[in-house]
Structures are given as structure tokens and as C-alpha cells.
Structure 1
Amino acid sequence: MNENDCACGVNYTYRELEDFLLNSPEVLEVAVVPGPDVCGEVYAFIVPRSGVFNPVRLELAFQCKLKNYGLKGFIEYRESLPKSGTGKLYRRELMNKAACWQR
């Protein structure tokens, strides 16, 4: 996975999108990965914080941010992100999961 990507001539990084989502007090962890085939699609895997959680508000904020880049995004809420024993994120596993999603 290339850390930098480009859609419609606008450069962005997946880390930039992750940081945007992490700024929400409702998000504990997040990983953003590219779509498998369709240019301009990103997938966010989010572990919400326990307590009050409003997925609609988070979804709207994410979609508004993505419009600035000419992107479409999809969110999956999870209890945890796949990691190694040392805490390294298994991003490839999430990319494979994104490839199986029905659009």
C-alpha cells in the first residue's frame, strides 16, 4: 500500500484521514485503507470508544472530509483492529476485507 495516494488530482495520505477521524472523541482506533479496484474509494475501520456513540454524526463528518478530496468512503465499526503480538496493525488483512465488501 502506498502511504500517499491521489484522486482527481488531489494528493492525500491515509494517515491524514485517520488523524481526522481520531480527532473525534467517539473514536478509539482507526485504520484507513484504499479500495481494491475503484479509484477514489477508501475504507475506514473504526473502533468506537465505549459510551455515547453517534455513528450518523461520524459518518457525515467523514463523508464531508472526503468530498474535499473527491473520494467516496465506507466505514465498518469493529470491536478491535487486527494486530500482531507486538501491536503492529495488520493493514493487509483490512485491505482484503475491503475487497470483499459489496458496493
Structure 2
Amino acid sequence: MMSTIIIGFVYNLLQMGFSIFTVVSGNRVLSGDGGYLFDFFGDKIISYFLISGSSAGFGLTVELRRGAPSNSFTDKAHASASLLLIGFLFTAIASTFTSFALSKKTNS
């Protein structure tokens, strides 16, 4: 779960850097279809990482709570898995928007 959070954070920092560069300079870092393809496949890959981290976290909390009552660790793990699930939902939505931009770019 921690590696999923770190990978997602690094990807978001990279995307923010690309966006800031585009706003400041007016040019995309990856020109042509490459930038749109990077956004599309990056969103897809990160969303799969997020959902796998979320499901692993939920599985961990279920197993840990089975033998013992809920404690601070399992509550935090459950909250973290919930945030990963929310992150997956937003990344999946962003991936849908990116697919629309990619199809517009390749058709024109």
C-alpha cells in the first residue's frame, strides 16, 4: 500500500511539473501525440496501481480485524485504503477525459 502511495505521488508531481511548464511556456513538454499518449497510459497504469493497493489494504484490515478487535493500526490502514480507492475513482475519471482529448487529437 505504501509503494502504491509513493508511485502515485511521484506521478502526480511529474504531471504537475508538466502542467506548470505548459502554462508558463505555452508549449507541451511532449509534443504531438506523445504527450496525450503519456497522459492516457500513465493515468491507466496509475489507476491500476491505486486499485491494487486499495484492495490489498482492505484485505489486510479484514484479516487483522478477524482475530482481534479493531485497533488504531487497522483503523489507519482502513482509512488509507479508502483514500486509495477514492484516488482510483478520480484517476479513472481523469483517464476518461484524457481518452476524449486523445481521440480529438488523433482525429484532427
Question: What TM-score do you get using the length of structure 1 for normalisation?
Answer: 0.30
- Structure showing greater radius of gyration is 2
Higher RCO, 1 vs 2 (CA within 8 Å, ≥6 residues apart):
2
Query: Whose helix proportion is higher, 1 or 2?
Result: 2
